[in-house]
Amino acid sequence: MPRATLRPGHVIHYQQTGQGPDVVLIHGLFCNIAFWWFRVAPKLAETHRVTALDLRGHGFSAMTGEGYRAVDLAEDVTELMTHLGIKDAHLVAHSFGGAVALAVATTAPDRVSKLTLADAWVPSLQAMPPLNDQDAWQKLKGRLAKRGIEVEGEMPRVAQAFFEELLDAEDEGGAAAASASGGAGAFAGMQAGGGRQRPTRAMRRWRELMERTPANAEFRDPAGLSMDDLKAVRGPVDLIYGTRSRYLKSRDGLLKALPDARPVELDGMGHYFPLLRPDALLRAMGESGKAPGLTRGKETWRDRAAQARR
């Protein structure tokens, strides 16, 4: 299990696979490398060297006493890239990972060849949804109970949203969606078969992060992500969002800051489509997911449109 010690007591867990131009995968809150590793990373690794990391305080990376703003986590990403000899990379990021990727692009622009933001939440553009919602929790408990699943204790709201979307996919998509979400259920510790479920390691780690650190407040800190900062982002940017996303306000703000960005809307999909429907993400990144358009150099979408008109 490779780990990089970036500073004393500051250890980041990462994984690498494939060969070719570099892609760095950045997960969101409550998640870890597993979000990408089983279906997205192997496909991208057919033509690229793929690096995925556990953000600070997540997965198997160290939990520090502070430093959970997007700009702090962006520094971790650039330091890890330096540690691994990655000059620049296409950053593919989900949810709050999108804010981290944007912070890399604003603070170290030469390290980013392209940005793909999958349902990104940006704290300077949109408030974080509430971390606790008792009504939503009671409804989710009822849905889980119908499947014979009983959860010990209260599930963090950030995890509740994932399970709501997972159950929606199964309810609406039948057997095909249930099969597609099997890996997601295992990722979250809710394997098929029901029964009493103890808090997963991810849940225990999240609760520890909330109780022992100022992460809850720091995640919301918009430092380094002002509209002026965002307008300075160079190079091609893809904004891939589901029509059921809770973060369309972030997308709309990004389109104002980055008018050359390419917006892609995935019909009927919610926040966790990269995990539940990785095929849709891969298609949005390229043609039929066969050879995702990952590296387009430093050109902008306006440059490409101008070339097409000639």
Which residue among 191, 212, 233 closes a domain? 212
Residues 205 and 89 in one domain: no
Residues 123 and 176 in one domain: no
- The neighbour count for residue 211, using CB atoms within 10 Å, is 9
CA dihedral 127, 133, 135, 138 (to 10 degrees): 140
pLDDT at 289: 38
Residues 231 and 83 in one domain: yes
Residues 295 and 231 in one domain: yes
8 A C-beta contact, residue 238 and residue 116: yes
8 A C-beta contact, residue 136 and residue 242: no
Per the document, the length of the chain is 310
Rounded to 5 degrees, φ, ψ at 148 are 75, 20
Residues 28 and 104 in one domain: yes
Output the domain CATH number for residue 89.
Answer: 3.40.50.1820
pLDDT at 189: 47
Give which of 2, 68, 55, 62 is closest to 24, Cα–Cα: 55
Which residue among 212, 232, 249 closes a domain? 212
Q: How far apart are CA 36 and CA 26, in angstroms?
A: 9
Residues 115 and 258 in one domain: yes
Residue type, position 295, single letter? T
pLDDT at 298: 36
Residues 27 and 91 in one domain: yes
Our count of domains for the chain comes to 2
pLDDT at 233: 96
pLDDT at 191: 40
pLDDT at 183: 45
Residues 141 and 106 in one domain: no
Measure CA 27 to chain center: 3
Residues 226 and 81 in one domain: yes
**For residue 214, with 0-12 CB atoms within 10 Å meaning exposed, 13-18 middle and 19 or more buried, which class applies?**
middle
Residues 13 and 113 in one domain: yes
pLDDT at 303: 41
Residues 109 and 20 in one domain: yes
Question: What residues of the chain score a pLDDT lower than 50?
Answer: 174-194, 287-310
Domain range for 187 is 134-212
Residues 143 and 250 in one domain: no
Which residue among 182, 212, 242 closes a domain? 212
